[in-house]
Structure 1
Amino acid sequence: MNNDYQELSQYLQRLEYELRLLGWWSKTTPDTDTLQSTAPFCHDRMTFDQWLQWIFIPRLEDIINNNGPLPETCAIAPMAEISWREESPEAISPVVRLLFKLDAYICEYP
């Protein structure tokens, strides 16, 4: 792993941890059709937390493992706020704060 991506890897590990704490980490992989959605955040076929687990985290892990380039921009946290607006603010604030940090890391990466 590229040393530059160690911090990103730590963010992803923490994101998984936070999703597990909320009970939003699934052991069941979605079917192929669900994973192939072309809608933003796969919103037509999965919840936002499922998208984080099955699309976002694996894509970033692939970038880390292959020393690939990061996206030029990232704005995941605002979608989390919208998607989880019905949830307890106290429960989701740690993961939302983490997503804002992750967004900033990706956007500011050299």
Structure 2
Amino acid sequence: MDARVPAIAQQLLLIERELRLQGWWDDQAPSDQALASQQPFCVDTLSFEQWLQWIFLPRMKDLLESGTALPEACGIQPMAEQVYGGRSEQARVLIRLLGEFDQLICGAA
């Protein structure tokens, strides 16, 4: 088992918690069509928060639970910084948490 798994699992929980605290957590899933977007981060069909909730978090949890190799690429924090440019103070904690996730995935932490 990858030694990073417990830390990554904890980080995913912190990201989910912050989305909920900010009121950026949806009770209703987007349409299957919206979820099937082929664009990076589903930018054409989902908000960034929806992408985190409905695509990113479930996929990462599935990878952790199945023992599948974790992605080697990181870069969610720069996307978050771009998305939240005008709301960076409100999103400060989420951006930090995503940066910490990137570091865990890239092995820099």
How far is 1:90 from its partner?
2.6
Q: Which residue of 2 aligns with 1:91?
A: 90
Q: Given the alignment of the two structures, is residue 60 of structure 1 paired with residue 60 of structure 2, yes or no?
A: yes
Q: Which moved more, 1:51-60 or 1:100-109?
A: 100-109
CA RMSD of aligned residues (A): 1.5
In the superposition, the TM-score normalised over structure 2's length comes to: 0.93
* Whole-angstrom distance in 1 between the partners of 2:97 and 2:69: 21
* Whole-angstrom distance in 2 between the partners of 1:24 and 1:10: 19
Which sections of structure 2, spanning at least 5 residues, go unmatched?
none
How far is 1:2 from its partner?
6.5
Which sections of structure 1, spanning at least 5 residues, go unmatched?
none
Q: Which residue of 1 aligns with 2:39?
A: 39
Secondary structure of 1:91 counterpart = coil
* Whole-angstrom distance in 2 between the partners of 1:42 and 1:92: 20
Q: Which residue of 2 aligns with 1:11?
A: 11
Pairs aligned (count):
108
* Whole-angstrom distance in 1 between the partners of 2:5 and 2:70: 10
Name the CA shift for 1:73/1:62 in 2 (closer, same or farther; >3 Å).
same
Q: Given the alignment of the two structures, is residue 71 of structure 1 paired with residue 71 of structure 2, yes or no?
A: yes
Q: Given the alignment of the two structures, is residue 101 of structure 1 paired with residue 100 of structure 2, yes or no?
A: yes
* Whole-angstrom distance in 2 between the partners of 1:49 and 1:35: 13
Percent identical:
42
Q: Letter of the aligned partner of 2:74 in structure 1?
A: C
Alpha-carbon contact 2:4-2:104 (below 8 Å) kept:
no
In the superposition, the TM-score normalised over structure 1's length comes to: 0.92
